[in-house]
Structure 1
Amino acid sequence: MPVPLSILDLAPVPSGGTVGDALRNTIDLARHAEEAGYHRYWLAEHHLAPGVASSAPAVLIGLVTAATSRIRVGSGAVQLGHQTPLAVVEQFGTIDALHPGRIDLGLGRSGQRRAEFARLGSAPPPPPREAEVVDGLLIPPPFSFASLAGSPTVALQGALLQQPGARSPDFADQVDDIIALLAGTYRSAEGHEAHVVPGESADVQLWILGSSGGQSAQVAGERGLPFAANYHVSPATVLEAVTAYREAFKPSDVLSEPYVLVSADVVVAADDEAARRLASPYGLWVRSIRKELRAIPFPTPEEADAHEWSAEDRALVADRIDTQFVGSPATVAERLRVLQRVTGADELLVTTITHDHADRLRSFQLLAEVWNS
């Protein structure tokens, strides 16, 4: 039997479209995903991006859950660097109170990484690493954001996402606080209890998301939580991430053994050529993220054709282009099987962006049909 297949959605805004279009498309896609048999439907968290409407995942999760009836819905992931554990537990506890047993709370440390990111400009560059193919899976050289470390966008995000003078606590401490608040066992350093309503005893499934073998993988493993590893954004470090998680894993009340979900960026169409055409704007979209940290509205293939690519720009997005799974249902399913085999994933999380909503719906439908056949 194939491993379960789930969806990650960024609520992409198409070129020429509106945020309302993007959000209505997300709800429509979630309904179709449920009918097609997808296991989960996760919403990402991105800020200050004209081309991404998923800036408030808890709000969007509530809307998607209300519009569906069976599929699990969750965050991929809440950025803990600019939210308190109490706020997160209250948000997800509220949703769970109306839709018990269907909510996933995925946690990420992207917010905490802003301080690390700001230091990249003065840090020595990592030693170069060549691309390699591991049992059929491409592992490209790692990408560095060092060139953007001192950019105004980074400073602006920090200023707008946190209160003046605020400091992000350690990620592990925040995860522990969330676990305690959900369980009703929270005690402050002074011994005071806190009981969250709504939130305490909420039937949410806690996840940790990570892109490397660093703290996120360690926290997930040591606390016996399921772990989502990021091949679609950081393909160079996915094997390090899953290995670190498994090595750190300790059985818990949640899991007796490690559980790994791995993400992939896919575009599926009737044949390889049609899929490549639908995916052709992807590089231009990734370029906007890596040059300015702001995703542009997703272009049309014609807009992508008009862009004049420099060698520098092509190198900027090469790892993402080369690891996007594009093609017919059979082509993409085979590449996903390779990803699952090499990483040992217990579940796969796929994300797809095309300019036209109908093409995105069809991509997920075609993939589900071949995957479950």
Structure 2
Amino acid sequence: MPSTPLSILDLSPVPAGGTVTDALRNTVDLARRAEQSGYHRYWLAEHHLAAGVASSAPAVLIGQVAAATSAIRVGSGAVQVGHRTALSVVEEFGTLAALHPGRIDLGLGRSGQRRVEAAREIAAPTPPPVQARVVDGLLIPPPFSYAQVLASPRFALSSALLHQPGAQPPPFAEQVADVLALLRGDYTDADGLDAHAVPGEATDLQLWLLGSSGGESAHLAGALGLPFAANYHVSPWSVLDAVAAYRAAFRPSAALAKPYVVVSADVVVADTDDEARRLATPYGPWVRSIRSGEGAIPFPTPEQAAQLPWTEDDREFVADRVDTQFVGSPGTVAERLHTLRTVTAADELLVTTITHRHADRVSSYELIAKEWND
């Protein structure tokens, strides 16, 4: 198998019957093992108000992971800048970069305008149905509408808790420009006053943009000559649009001479296809819990998942995610990752695995790393 780097995206999942402490300690343990298995980088996601996900403060967790490892790159996938200032982000990650030079990635994700987008999506006419298609062996499912999630009362509560009263996030492009200026040390305001982020300025942070479509994030990453991460595991229907838009917009920069794309995938690997499918059984109900607007539930056991209410409507509600999860033996999953890499021309793959038992999650990552690198 070609030597395309494999990396990890971790949500610090909380298992049913477990605790947040368990989840966070499991993340640190997994990072150590990932380094031993040869993974290139280890990213922490940012999620809030979800009983089943403990990665709500990625900068704090990145510091713990970086301190527990010695060489693997560690970063955010991604900081939600819609409820943060550019300065706070640069200072936090500048501190990490000063403590762990040459190892810290700052991934930024667009957020903060979701209510407006939800209102537009709800008000828009229902688009004609789109059929699933297969592109050179890669399943591209129909798009999923997030209107229900974005318009839910719990999403509104989350937004209210994350933002100061009356605060309006600035446009994403402006925030990214401010981050870059603070990192370079040439930030000035409209009156010509300069500001310097300490720590942060002149550090060796690697800046990334993450995106789920061919929209603003992809175009901006390309125009600024930054590396870009596209989500097949969250938005499989738009991954090809995202990477195409990024490459079309790319302009060489001091950071990159040519485009660099990471593509993510959900995977569960076990010794056999049947065992992997059993371990992945809770994934559908878990995704349903997120899309219902209630937030991710603690990840059930396969036996608990089999007892949860489940209808054909539920199946359709999460089909795009379940059908694009790569589940099976090492050979089965490696072949599907090979297809994903070939179709997207990814320079690196970012895999994320959630199982109830930490030991099964560790084994999944170790099995696919060994198969991929052999």
The answer to whether structure 1 residue 85 and structure 2 residue 82 are counterparts is no
Q: Which residue of 2 aligns with 1:204?
A: 205
CA offset at residue 190 of structure 1? 1.0
Cα separation, 1, equivalents of 2:279 and 2:360: 8
Identical counterparts, % of pairs: 70
CA offset at residue 128 of structure 1? 1.6
Matches within 5 A, 1:1-373: 1-373=2-374
Cα separation, 2, equivalents of 1:148 and 1:8: 23
CA offset at residue 122 of structure 1? 1.7
Unaligned 5+ runs, structure 1? none
SS state at 2:194 partner: coil
Cα separation, 1, equivalents of 2:90 and 2:126: 38
Cα separation, 1, equivalents of 2:303 and 2:281: 9
Cα separation, 1, equivalents of 2:372 and 2:294: 34
Cα separation, 1, equivalents of 2:350 and 2:127: 29
SS state at 1:105 partner: strand
Cα separation, 2, equivalents of 1:147 and 1:21: 32
SS state at 1:119 partner: helix
**Which amino acid letter does the alignment assign opposite residue 199 of structure 1?**
G
CA offset at residue 121 of structure 1? 1.9
Deviations 1:88-110, CA, capped at 9 Å, x for gaps: 00000011111011000000003
TM-score relative to the length of structure 1: 0.99
CA offset at residue 332 of structure 1? 0.2
Cα separation, 1, equivalents of 2:292 and 2:141: 19
TM-score relative to the length of structure 2: 0.98
Contact 2:148–2:293 (Cα < 8 Å) also in 1: no
Contact 1:119–1:149 (Cα < 8 Å) also in 2: no
Cα separation, 1, equivalents of 2:226 and 2:294: 30
**Which amino acid letter does the alignment assign opposite residue 20 of structure 1?**
T
Contact 1:85–1:174 (Cα < 8 Å) also in 2: yes
CA offset at residue 185 of structure 1? 0.7
CA offset at residue 178 of structure 1? 0.2
CA offset at residue 141 of structure 1? 0.1
Contact 2:268–2:327 (Cα < 8 Å) also in 1: yes
**Which amino acid letter does the alignment assign opposite residue 300 of structure 2?**
P
Q: Which moved more, 1:61-70 or 1:106-115?
A: 106-115
Moved over 6 A (4+): none
Cα separation, 1, equivalents of 2:42 and 2:126: 37
Cα separation, 2, equivalents of 1:124 and 1:263: 31
Cα separation, 2, equivalents of 1:45 and 1:293: 16
**Which amino acid letter does the alignment assign opposite residue 362 of structure 2?**
L
Aligned residues: 373
SS state at 1:348 partner: strand
CA offset at residue 293 of structure 1? 4.5
Contact 1:207–1:226 (Cα < 8 Å) also in 2: yes
Contact 1:70–1:102 (Cα < 8 Å) also in 2: yes
Q: Label 1:114 to 1:75 Cα distance change in 2 as closer, same or farther (>3 A).
A: farther
SS state at 2:350 partner: strand
Cα separation, 2, equivalents of 1:149 and 1:89: 28
Unaligned 5+ runs, structure 2? none
Cα separation, 1, equivalents of 2:294 and 2:3: 36
Deviations 1:209-261, CA, capped at 9 Å, x for gaps: 00000000011000000000000000000000000000000010011110000
CA RMSD of the aligned region, Å?
Answer: 0.9
Deviations 1:17-43, CA, capped at 9 Å, x for gaps: 000000000000000000000000000
Cα separation, 1, equivalents of 2:267 and 2:305: 18
**Which amino acid letter does the alignment assign opposite residue 35 of structure 1?**
Q
Contact 1:121–1:149 (Cα < 8 Å) also in 2: no
**Which amino acid letter does the alignment assign opposite residue 143 of structure 2?**
P
